[in-house]
Amino acid sequence: MKQILHILKYKILSFIRLDSKLSVVSIIKNFGSGIIYTAFAVGAFYFAKTLINFLLVEVTVGQFLLHEFISMILFIFFMSINIGNIVVSYSTLYKSAEVNYLITKPVEPAKIFTIKFLDNFFYSSSTLLMILFALLLGYTFYFHLGISQFLVLVLNFIPFMVSAGSLGVMILLAVILLANRYGVKRVAYIITGGYFAVIFFFFRINSPRHLVRTVLRHYPFVNKDVYLDDLIPSVIKVLPNNWLSQTAYWTLHGDTYKVVLFTILQIALATLLFGLAYYLGKKYYFKTWLVNHKLTAELNSDRKKISRFFNPNSSTDIASQVKSILRKDLLVFIREPSQVIHSLILLFLMMVFVVSVAGIKFVGLGNFYLQTMIYLAIFIFNLLLITTLSLRFIFPLISLEGHSFWKLKSAPVSLTKYIFSKLYATALIVLFISLVLSFFSNHKFGLILITFSLIVTVIATITIVIINFGMGGLFANYKEKNPIRVSSSQGASLTFLISILYMLFLVVLLFKPFSELFLSIMIKRDFNLLRLFYFTLPMVLISGLVVAAFYKAAVSALRRDF
C-alpha cells in the first residue's frame, strides 16, 4: 500500500503542477477551456431540464416511461464505458512506457495494475463525470430535489461506472489469455459476437416500441405516480442500469427503503467487480503482460509483409512527398494493435446503430413535434459517431509525429502538402462512413429528406473534421506515443465540447423547417421544399467560418512547430 500511495502522490503532483513557461497562448488556451467547459456544463444542465419537461409535459410519457428510457440510455452508457475501458486499458496496462519502467523496479505487478487501472479510469472519465454531474443537477432542479438526494444519485453513479470499468478490465485479461491459446482473430470474433448478442437481446427483450405501446394501454394512469413494475422483464431487473433508474425514481417519490436497497446493490456490485478485477490482476497481470509481448512478436511476420508491400523503395513506388507520408501513417496505424481494435469496435457500434434505426420512421407518427425530435435525435447521434471517429483518428494525427517531427522540419516538404497528405485519406474515410450512416438512418423518410440530410451531413462532417484537426494542432503533444491517450487529453475533451456546441447549433437551426415538414405530412398539406434548403445558407456560412478559423489554427500551430 505504501508503494501505491507513493506513486499516486507523484502522479497527482505531476498532474496539478503549473507549467514553468507562461505565455499569452497558454493563458488564452486555459481561459478558453474554462469558458467552454463552464458553458457546456450549463448547457447540459438546461438540456436535461428541457428534455424532461418535453417528455413529461409535451409528450406526456409519464414518470415510469421516462425512467425506463433513462434505464435504456444507462445500458448503452454502461456498454460504452465497458468497451472503451477494454481499449484504453490495453494501451495503459500493456503499451505504456510508464508500465515498462515500473515493471523493472521492485514494485509488485498487482500494484502496477491497480495504479494504472485507477489512473486510466479517472484520466479518461473526467469530462464524462462533469457532463453527468451537470445532467444530474438538471434532473435534481427540475424535480426540486434537495442536496442530499442529489448526493444519493451521485453515490449511485460512481459505483455504476466502476462496475463497467472493472468488468472491462477483466474481459481484457480473459481476451489476452484466450488469445494465447486459441488465436487473436478467433477470440476477437467471439468477443465481438458476444457484445452484439448482448445488445441485440437487451433491446429484443426490452424493446422501446413494445414498452411504449404496452404502457399507453394503461392511459391515463401512465401520467400518475404509478410504477408499472410488471412491465419490466425479470432479466432487466437484475441489471445495474435498472437499479440506477429505479433509485432515481424512488428518490423522487421518497421511498427510502427502496433507495437504500438499490444503493446497497449498486455499491456491492462495484465492490465485488473491483475486488475480482484486483484479484485477477494480481494473479494474471504479469503473465498477460508477457503473453502480450509474445502475441505482438508473432504478428511481426504479417507486419513485415505489409511493410515490404508499402516500402517506399519498392519498384512499384511513385516517389512523392504525399505518398511517403501516407505510407508512414498507414504503417503506424497497422503496427499499433489498439488502433485496429478500436477501429473494429467503433465500426461494430455503428453497425448496431444502423440496425437499431430500421423502423424509426414509424415511431412518433401522429405527433409532428415528437417526430421532429426523434428525427433530430438520430441526426445528432450520427454526428456524435462522426465526432467520436474524428476525435479518435484525426485529432491525434499531428501529435503522432512524435520526436521524429524534426525530420519534417529538415525535409523539403511544403506545409500545404503535409496538411493535405495527413488529412485527406482519413477525412475521406470519415466522410464515407458519415454518408453511409446518414443514408441508412434516413432511407425510409423519402428522397427529399435523404438528399437534404446527405447535404447537411457532408457540411457537418467536414466542419467537425477540421475542428478536430485544428485543435489537434493547437494541443499537439509530441511526447505521447499512444493515440488513445492523446484522444483522451484535456485538449481532446475541449474539442469534443466544441463539436457538441456546433451540433447543438445545427439542431436549433434545423428544428423549425423539419417540424413544419412533419406537420405538413401529418395534415397532408403541400410543403415548400425550398424552405429546407434556405436554412442551409446560414449553416454553410457559419460552418465555413468555423472551418476557416480552425484550419488557420492548424496552419499556425504547424508553422510554429515547423
> What is the pLDDT, as a whole number, of residue 45?
83
Q: Which amino acid is at 13?
A: L
> What is the pLDDT, as a whole number, of residue 316?
41
- Checking if the pLDDT of 36 tops 70, the result is no
- Higher pLDDT: 90 or 531? It is 90
Q: Which amino acid is at 141?
A: F
The answer to whether 438 touches 523, Cβ cutoff 8 Å, is no
pLDDT tens across 512-530, in order?
777 777 777 666 666 666 6
Instruction: Supply the mean pLDDT for the chain.
Output: 75
Tell me the helix, strand and coil percentages in the chain, rounded to 5. 85, 0, 15
The answer to whether 164 touches 76, Cβ cutoff 8 Å, is no
Cell of 468: 478536430
Q: How far apart are CA 514 and CA 8, in angstroms?
A: 52
- Residue whose C-alpha is closest to residue 399's, from 491, 303, 337, 465: 491
The string of DSSP codes covering 122-190 is HHHHHHHHHHHHHHHHHHHHHTT--HHHHHHHHHHHHHHHHHHHHHHHHHHHHHHHHHHHH-HHHHHHH
Q: How far apart are CA 178 and CA 342, in angstroms?
A: 19
pLDDT tens across 224-279, in order?
555 667 778 888 888 999 999 999 989 988 888 899 999 999 999 999 999 999 88
Q: How far apart are CA 490 and CA 474, in angstroms?
A: 12
The answer to whether 389 touches 494, Cβ cutoff 8 Å, is no
Distance spanning both ends of the chain, measured CA to CA: 46
The answer to whether 497 touches 37, Cβ cutoff 8 Å, is yes
Q: How far apart are CA 441 and CA 356, in angstroms?
A: 9
pLDDT tens across 278-288, in order?
889 888 888 88
State pTM to two decimals: 0.71
Q: How far apart are CA 396 and CA 491, in angstroms?
A: 10
> What is the pLDDT, as a whole number, of residue 410?
64
pLDDT tens across 317-363, in order?
434 555 666 666 666 665 665 566 666 666 666 666 565 555 455 44
Cell of 251: 428518490
> What is the pLDDT, as a whole number, of residue 235?
86
Under DSSP, the state recorded for 479 is T
Cis-peptide into 396, omega within 30 deg = no
Q: Determine if residue 144 is left, alpha or beta; phi over 0 gives left, psi from -120 to 50 gives alpha, anything else beta.
A: left
Q: Determine if residue 274 is left, alpha or beta; phi over 0 gives left, psi from -120 to 50 gives alpha, anything else beta.
A: alpha
Q: Note the maximum CA span of the chain.
A: 77
For the ranges 58-67, 124-133, 230-239, 376-385, the maximum mean pLDDT occurs at 230-239
CA distances, 199 to each of 70, 173, 193, 231 (Å): 16, 22, 10, 20
The answer to whether 399 touches 422, Cβ cutoff 8 Å, is no
Q: How far apart are CA 86 and CA 43, in angstroms?
A: 30
> What is the pLDDT, as a whole number, of residue 112?
82
Q: What is the domain partition of the chain in residue ranges?
A: 23-306, 321-562
Cβ neighbours of residue 341 under 8 Å, at least 6 residues apart? 87, 90, 188
Give me the mean pLDDT over the 169-179 stretch: 89
